[in-house]
Amino acid sequence: MNPIIDGIVKAFQLIFSGDPTVYSIVYRSLFFSGTAAILAALWGTPIAMLLGLKDFRGKSIIKGIFNALIGMPTVALGLILFLIFSKAGPLGFLGLLYTPGAVILGEAVLVTPLVVSIATTAIEAVDPEVINLAKTLGASESQASIAVLKEAVNGVIFSNMASFNRAIAELGVALLVGGNIAGLTDVLTTDISKYTQRGDLALAIALSMILIAIVFGINLIIIIARNPKVLATLGRSPQ
Amino acid sequence: MTVLAELKNLTKCFSNRTVLDDITLQIEEGEMLALLGPNGSGKTTLLKILAFLEKPESGELKFQGETVTDKNAERMRLQSAMVFQRTLLFSTSVYNNIAYGLKMRKLPQNTIKEEVKKVLRLVKLEGFEKRSAKKLSGGEQQRVALSRALVLKTKLLLLDEPTANLDPKNAQIIEEVIATINRELRTTIVMATHNMFQAKTLPHRIALINDGKITEVGTPAEIFGKLSKNLASFAAVGNTFTGTAKTTTAGTTMVDIGNGVQIEATVQRQGVTSVFVSPQDIIVSKGAVASSARNVFKGRIIEIFDLGSLVKLKVDIGKPFTVQITKRSFSEMALNLNVEVFIAFKASAVLLI
């Protein structure tokens, strides 16, 4: 049989047989990327609010830097973080290198520019008078900022979706700071790379299919949760 | 009467441009004051200062005898509410929009429910609680915005052109509500407008504002009763013209406003006068229509402004007249730039200032 078709068949067998190796890799990927996306949202959203709501000198330069960092090659960032986390590096004393913490932190750093840029654009798109509206209705400065954030909620959710997608699909950072240690820091992308190089196409294909299914599935769930009417339009033919 | 708010020698600049220049004004408790002036005269900025949303560069603002500072502005804001000219709504339900300010004041849930229901009845939007605010018509949206401020029962209510760009039905509802709450709740209202008819009928006092300066303050009778030079100089207020009036044998007045345009009015007047015709009172047709309107002119459309459900046209009949029609009429009549049209209005619709 063709090795690719053979690989696909075996991949389905691995997925549906409940193979513990496959599922532990999936769990780690979801956990690392999910935590990284949450961390990026926690520190990226306040930065976006500052950039979107306040006027200060150097604001456009900071926005430009975040925009430019979106395209940062993951391997390059992985190498920079490797040097920072390594024993001789400035954060070497933390002993983070080749630990799950290093992968989570690295991925969070990687996706932060994405969160900041998309959320800033969404906040800037909100009518600037909304902050005055909230204030005249009795909101404090912080409550008024939250009112603006609520108006930009679609953009902010989109920024979180995009950051999760980038985190789960990246290879460079996880490989360089995680070391792809089986059962500890290996994730879907690093294992796809490893098993492809080893010639274990079935496992590589299975993991790839799962990775794609996760990305599509999670995005679809969020879209439907935001607007349940999407489901009703699926079966409708175009007018 | 007790003074609610007092502005003393107040100045406000934006990017080195003075938008309010040495404003001194007292707002009395329970009164309705109209800020009448053309677009860009500083009305909105003055309202925002009164709403404690903008800070003046110099001068003093006192509210209930207390000078407003950075420290107490947030507390002061709880005593006033502003309705913006451009309808601003949160992307949520009508209920959540109206309840927002009450939630900020940490009122119990049941009280909030009752108050929202009451205010919706007042603005004739009963049962609209669950509707998405942004999916309502323009007039309904403005009524939600007004009720969101009314429900707070603040001492001071600031309205920025509350009926601008609204159809007559919605404008009337809003004017009725404003008059009712001022009369029954004795809410002090400061309203910016460039609608002469509204300024003449609604407020107790009018403050004329032009180029960031208050040029005159008085009752509508005082301001409109005499030929106010300041009022007549509001060329930027749409459909305001100055001309020479002569009474006719039929007992009406013909005002020659230049370029061969003569306007007939029912009010008798002689000599130099200013004329105002509300854009809503002008009928547009593609041909000359036999009607009782005493003023019929042929002209050409020179400007079109899309206002959502309404369209504002500028028609050149020798003098530029602003006309407001519904978008449906605009589409059905296939109007466009440079199209020849007729405009008509009754002699009784002409206000002589």
Q: Which of A23-27, A41-45, B162-166 has the lowest mean pLDDT?
A: B162-166
Distance CA B189, CA B195 (A): 16
Residue B296 one-letter amino acid = V
Residues in chain B within 8 Å Cβ distance of A139: 100, 104
A153 → chain B, closest CA residue: B91
- Average pLDDT, integer, range B295-306: 90
Distance CA A16, CA A10 (A): 10
DSSP A238: P
Distance from CA of B104 to the nearest CA of A (A): 6
Distance from CA of B338 to the nearest CA of A (A): 34
Distance CA B279, CA A52 (A): 39
- In-domain check, residue A45: yes
Between A159 and B327, name the one with better pLDDT. A159
How many Å is the Cα radius of gyration of chain A?
21
Distance from CA of A109 to the nearest CA of B (A): 32
**Phi, psi for residue B261 in degrees, rounded to 5:** -100, 120
A139 → chain B, closest CA residue: B104
Inform me whether the C-beta atom of residue B77 falls under 8 Å from chain A C-beta atoms.
Answer: yes
Residues found in chain A: 239
Between B254 and B309, name the one with better pLDDT. B254
Residue B159 one-letter amino acid = L
Distance CA B263, CA A88 (A): 90
Model pLDDT, residue B236: 46
Return the structure tokens found at B230.
Answer: 């300041």
The separation between the first and the last C-alpha atoms of chain A, rounded to the nearest angstrom, is 45
Any idea which residue has 């900022």 for tokens?
A145
Residue from the list B91, B92, B152 with its beta carbon closest to the beta carbon of A137 = B152
Q: Would the pLDDT of A1 be above 90?
A: no
How many Å is the Cα radius of gyration of chain B?
22
pLDDT digits (tens, 9 = 90+) for A56-69: 999 999 999 999 99
pLDDT digits (tens, 9 = 90+) for B110-119: 999 999 999 9
Model pLDDT, residue A234: 62
The number of folded domains in chain A is 1
Question: B192 pairs with which residues across the strands?
Answer: B35, B160
In chain B, the largest separation of any two C-alpha atoms, in whole Å, equals 68
Distances (CA, A) of A159 to A107, A114, A173, A174: 15, 7, 20, 21
pLDDT digits (tens, 9 = 90+) for B127-138: 999 999 999 988
Q: Would the pLDDT of B91 be above 80?
A: yes
Between B326 and B256, name the one with better pLDDT. B256
- Average pLDDT, integer, range B254-258: 92
Collapsing DSSP to helix, strand or coil, B158 comes out as strand
- Average pLDDT, integer, range B193-221: 87
Residues in chain A within 8 Å Cβ distance of B142: none
Distance CA B283, CA B281 (A): 7
* Cross-chain residue pair B105–A143, CB shorter than 8 Å: no
Distance CA B39, CA A55 (A): 27
- In-domain check, residue A237: no
- In-domain check, residue A192: yes
Between B38 and B229, name the one with better pLDDT. B38
Collapsing DSSP to helix, strand or coil, A102 comes out as helix
- In-domain check, residue A198: yes
Q: What are A14-22's contacts with CB under 8 Å, separation 24+? A: A14/A202, A14/A203, A14/A206, A15/A206, A15/A209, A15/A210, A21/A203, A22/A203, A22/A206, A22/A207, A22/A210
Q: Would the pLDDT of A179 be above 90?
A: yes
- Find all residues with CB under 8 Å of B332, minimum gap 6, and list them: none
Distance from CA of B103 to the nearest CA of A (A): 9
Distance from CA of B265 to the nearest CA of A (A): 42
A148 → chain B, closest CA residue: B90
Determine how β-strand B156-160 pairs with β-strand B188-193.
Answer: parallel
* Cross-chain residue pair B149–A135, CB shorter than 8 Å: no
Give the torsion sign (CA, A122, A123, A129, A133): positive
Q: Would the pLDDT of A228 be above 90?
A: no
Model pLDDT, residue B232: 57
Model pLDDT, residue B147: 96
Q: By residue range, what is the domain housing residue A25?
A: 3-225
Q: Would the pLDDT of B198 be above 90?
A: no
Q: Would the pLDDT of B237 be above 70?
A: no
Chain B, 38 to 67: residues with Cβ < 8 Å from chain A are 48, 51, 53
Relative orientation angle of helices B138-150 and B109-122, to the nearest 10 degrees: 130
Model pLDDT, residue B235: 43
Between A106 and B272, name the one with better pLDDT. A106
- In-domain check, residue A238: no
Chain A, 128 to 167: residues with Cβ < 8 Å from chain B are 129-130, 132-141, 143, 147, 150-151
* % of chain A residues with pLDDT over 70: 95
Q: Work out how many CB contacts closer than 8 A connect A with B.
A: 51
- In-domain check, residue A232: no
- In-domain check, residue A168: yes
Per-residue pLDDT band at B225 (split at 50, 70, 90): low
Note whether B29 and B3 are within 8 A (CB). yes
pTM of the entire predicted model = 0.76
* ipTM above threshold 0.85: no
Between A15 and A192, name the one with better pLDDT. A192
Note whether A187 and A210 are within 8 A (CB). no
- In-domain check, residue A236: no
Residue B66 one-letter amino acid = E
- Average pLDDT, integer, range B64-93: 94
Model pLDDT, residue A44: 97
Task: Give kind and range of the element (H or E) at residue A31.
Answer: helix A20-53
Residues in chain B within 8 Å Cβ distance of A129: 84, 86, 88
Distance CA B62, CA B73 (A): 11
Residues in chain A within 8 Å Cβ distance of B92: 150
Between B26 and B40, name the one with better pLDDT. B26
Q: Would the pLDDT of B294 be above 50?
A: yes
Residues in chain B within 8 Å Cβ distance of A143: 104
Note whether A164 and A211 are within 8 A (CB). no
Per-residue pLDDT band at B94 (split at 50, 70, 90): very high
Q: Would the pLDDT of B69 be above 60?
A: yes
Q: Would the pLDDT of B197 be above 80?
A: no
* Cross-chain residue pair A134–B80, CB shorter than 8 Å: no
Collapsing DSSP to helix, strand or coil, A182 comes out as coil
A131 → chain B, closest CA residue: B53
Model pLDDT, residue A238: 54
- Average pLDDT, integer, range A26-36: 96
Q: Which of A3-17, A89-103, A134-148, B155-169 has the lowest mean pLDDT?
A: A3-17
Model pLDDT, residue B196: 74
* Cross-chain residue pair A150–B152, CB shorter than 8 Å: no
Determine how β-strand B188-193 pairs with β-strand B32-36.
Answer: parallel
CATH number assigned to the domain comprising residue A215 = 1.10.3720.10
- Nearest 10 degrees: CA dihedral of B189, B194, B198, B202? 20
pLDDT digits (tens, 9 = 90+) for B30-48: 999 999 888 888 999 999 9
Beta-sheet strand order (sheet of B205-210): B80-83, B156-160, B188-193, B32-36, B205-210, B213-218
* Cross-chain residue pair B88–A130, CB shorter than 8 Å: yes
Model pLDDT, residue B60: 94
Note whether B305 and B312 are within 8 A (CB). yes
Return the structure tokens found at B234.
Answer: 């509001």
Distance CA A236, CA B285 (A): 44
Q: Would the pLDDT of B227 be above 50?
A: no
